[in-house]
């Protein structure tokens, strides 16, 4: 058995999409609906009393799924039409049959076989049979480039052009252009469609291949064919180091502060403190925390952020490990921002660490949850690096 080197970071993740996760990079590998307009929807949602008067929480336990049962692998599907993938139930003596099948393929297949390609595809198939959530990669095989992107995203920086992307009705759409990035400087904006990369149309191209083509080393360039309404043009962008802002804050008036979280990286807790300091200085008396488009991120970061609003000893989350049993994570000190009347906005794109925060705010800080049920991910992922530089992202709790 191949020896694995377990990373100490734990992941909880829209699927930033993870190169993600979510999440956290400028190329979010999550297939989500178009992001709601902050200026329009938050102003509307702000009309709800933050102290909870007249607003109905979405369940006594907080965010839907934040502490719920883990989703289970789907049952084998029935046979599909000819040419489509069929998911079979487990066969007897499958390990022996696998080795036998490889030998038969090598002996009888019409073309020469790249065994590394076969083994890689087989491992991808193995990972697909583990717990998965639609639109949110949970258990996946990571190439060295994907691993580097994932880990750099946890530190709040990536190399790229600064677009967060998603697939909407099979069309690649810009969900956000990160401030200070090449994309933002070029005027690309939310809702723009990317139809081609470096002169090649991307219709039908796998999302992973699209991301690979947009990525590249700092200083190199990529040309995106962009559509906005009826206008189309080629936009050349130079890749560079992009600083990811995971916290956005502003005053909405009448003492009401607005705080939006995009993800949970190593820098998020410090960003949160700085944002709340600014809001407090501007006269904030009540707070809206917007988690509607937040795929999650680092578990440690989620605990640090959540602790800011709780009393010492308040339970944040319980993590179950097959080998180590249950472990409760609690606030280790009095939260700096506890006691602020709050509401949290959640929805189907609220996942993982964001669900932990929402649940704890409702349970311990008296926050009202407003919106729709959250994703209900309910698992923690860990990264296990293989000797060849590839890695597995696995549900481990």
Q: What is the pLDDT along the chain (397 residues), one digit of tens a residue?
A: 433 333 333 333 322 332 233 333 333 322 233 344 444 444 433 333 333 333 323 333 334 433 344 444 444 444 445 456 677 888 899 899 999 999 999 899 999 889 999 999 999 888 888 877 665 667 888 888 778 777 766 777 788 899 888 888 889 999 888 888 999 999 999 899 999 999 999 998 877 788 889 988 899 999 999 999 999 999 999 999 888 889 999 999 999 999 999 899 999 999 999 999 999 999 999 999 999 988 888 899 999 999 999 999 999 988 877 777 788 889 988 999 999 999 999 998 898 899 999 999 999 999 999 999 898 877 777 888 999 999 998 877 6
Distance CA 246, CA 266 (A): 10
Return the pLDDT at 138. Answer: 79
**Strand (E) positions, 119-192?**
140-142, 157-160, 163-168, 171-177
The secondary structure of residue 26, as a DSSP letter, is: S
Return the pLDDT at 136. Answer: 63
SS3 category, 238? strand
How many other C-beta atoms are found inside a 10 Å radius of the C-beta of residue 206?
Answer: 9
Distance CA 341, CA 285 (A): 7
Return the pLDDT at 48. Answer: 34
Q: pLDDT digit string (tens) for 148-207?
A: 777 766 777 788 899 888 888 889 999 888 888 999 999 999 899 999 999 999 998 877
How many other C-beta atoms are found inside a 10 Å radius of the C-beta of residue 395?
Answer: 18
Structure tokens at 11: 């992941």
Structure tokens at 121: 């595809």
Q: Where are the alpha helices (DSSP H) in 282-313?
A: 299-307
| Global pTM exceeds 0.85 | no
SS3 category, 100? helix
- Using CA atoms, how far residue 47 sits from 39, 44, 51, 169, 255, in Å, is 13, 6, 12, 32, 13
CA dihedral 239, 241, 242, 243 (to 10 degrees): 180
- Using CA atoms, how far residue 213 sits from 172, 173, 175, in Å, is 13, 15, 18
Q: pLDDT digit string (tens) for 75-96?
A: 444 444 545 667 788 889 989 9
Give the length of the chain.
397
Spell out the domains of the chain, with CATH numbers in brackets: 33-70+244-377 (3.90.226.10), 74-123 (no CATH), 160-242 (2.30.42.10)
């Amino acid at each position: 058995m191949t020896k694995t080197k377990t990373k100490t970071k734990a992941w909880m993740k829209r699927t930033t999409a993870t190169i993600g996760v979510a999440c956290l990079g400028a190329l979010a590998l999550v297939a989500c609906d178009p992001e709601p307009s902050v200026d329009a929807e938050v102003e509307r949602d702000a009309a709800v009393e933050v102290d909870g008067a007249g607003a109905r929480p979405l369940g006594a336990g907080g965010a839907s799924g934040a502490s719920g049962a883990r989703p289970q692998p789907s049952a084998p599907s029935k046979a599909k039409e000819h040419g489509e993938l069929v998911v079979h139930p487990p066969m007897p003596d499958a390990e022996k049959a696998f080795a036998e099948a490889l030998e038969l393929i090598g002996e009888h297949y019409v073309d020469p076989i790249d065994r590394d390609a076969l083994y890689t595809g087989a491992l991808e198939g193995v990972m697909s049979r583990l717990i998965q959530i639609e639109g949110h990669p949970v258990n996946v095989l990571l190439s060295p480039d994907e691993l580097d992107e994932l880990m750099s995203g946890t530190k709040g920086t990536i190399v790229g052009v600064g677009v967060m992307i998603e697939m909407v009705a099979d069309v690649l759409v810009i969900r956000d252009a990160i401030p200070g990035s090449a994309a933002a400087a070029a005027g690309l904006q939310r809702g723009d469609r990317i139809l081609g990369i470096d002169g090649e149309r991307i219709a039908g191209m796998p999302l992973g291949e699209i991301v690979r083509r947009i990525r590249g080393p700092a200083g190199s360039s990529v040309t995106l064919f962009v559509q906005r309404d009826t206008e189309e043009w080629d936009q050349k962008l130079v890749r560079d180091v992009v600083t990811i802002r995971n916290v956005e804050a502003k005053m909405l008036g009448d003492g009401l502060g607005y705080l939006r979280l995009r993800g949970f990286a190593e820098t998020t807790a410090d960003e949160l403190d700085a944002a709340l300091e600014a809001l407090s200085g501007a006269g904030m008396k009540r707070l809206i925390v917007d988690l509607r488009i937040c795929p999650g991120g680092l578990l440690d970061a989620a605990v640090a952020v959540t602790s800011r609003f709780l009393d010492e000893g308040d339970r944040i989350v319980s993590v179950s490990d097959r080998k180590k049993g249950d472990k409760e994570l609690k606030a280790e000190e009095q939260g700096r921002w506890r006691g602020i009347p709050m509401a949290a906005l959640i929805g189907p794109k609220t996942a993982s660490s964001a669900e932990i925060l929402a649940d704890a705010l409702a349970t311990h800080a008296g926050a009202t949850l407003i919106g729709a049920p959250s994703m209900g991910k309910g698992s923690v992922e860990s990264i296990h690096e293989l000797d060849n530089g590839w890695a597995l992202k696995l549900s481990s709790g």
